[in-house]
Amino acid sequence: MATFNDLIKQNTLVLVDFKADWCGPCKMMTPILKEVKHQLKDSVKIIKIDVDKNPSVAATYQVRGVPTLILFKKGKQVWRQSGVLQASQLVQIINSHI
């Protein structure tokens, strides 16, 4: 099984959605992320990390609130924001890093 570090070190941009099952705004991100994936296809990989099930990963990246989105390029964090964003905003941000 690939580790988190293996996943974010890929050549493809990786958008990580740090979330929690009890978080209302996190649930709002699901259709937004589906739309982003639909628009950008293989130019971005989107993974979800449950902060309650993966506290060490959340702590490593100092995730204090959910949802927190972090964009990685070849293992380096290139962008990060907490809260809900619209699909159009996310597509624009991701495109600026491709």
Domain annotation covers residue 57: yes
Domain annotation covers residue 29: yes
3-class SS string, the chain = CCCHHHHHCCCCEEEEEEECCCCHHHHHHHHHHHHHHHHHHHHEEEEEEECCCCHHHHHHCCCCCCCEEEEEECCEEEEEEECCCCHHHHHHHHHCCC
Domain annotation covers residue 45: yes
**Per-residue pLDDT tens over the stretch 45-79:** 999 999 999 999 999 999 999 999 999 999 999 99
**Per-residue pLDDT tens over the stretch 6-59:** 999 989 999 999 999 999 999 999 999 999 999 999 999 999 999 999 999 999
Domain annotation covers residue 47: yes
Choosing from 26, 36, 69, 87, the catalytic residue is 26
The pTM of the full predicted model, rounded to 2 decimals, is 0.96
**Residue 31 bears catalytic tag:** no
Domain annotation covers residue 69: yes
Residue 56 belongs to what domain range?
4-77
Choosing from 7, 23, 84, 91, the catalytic residue is 23
Domain annotation covers residue 63: yes
- Number of domains the chain contains: 1
Question: For position 20, which CATH number holds?
Answer: 3.40.30.10
**Residue 42 bears catalytic tag:** no
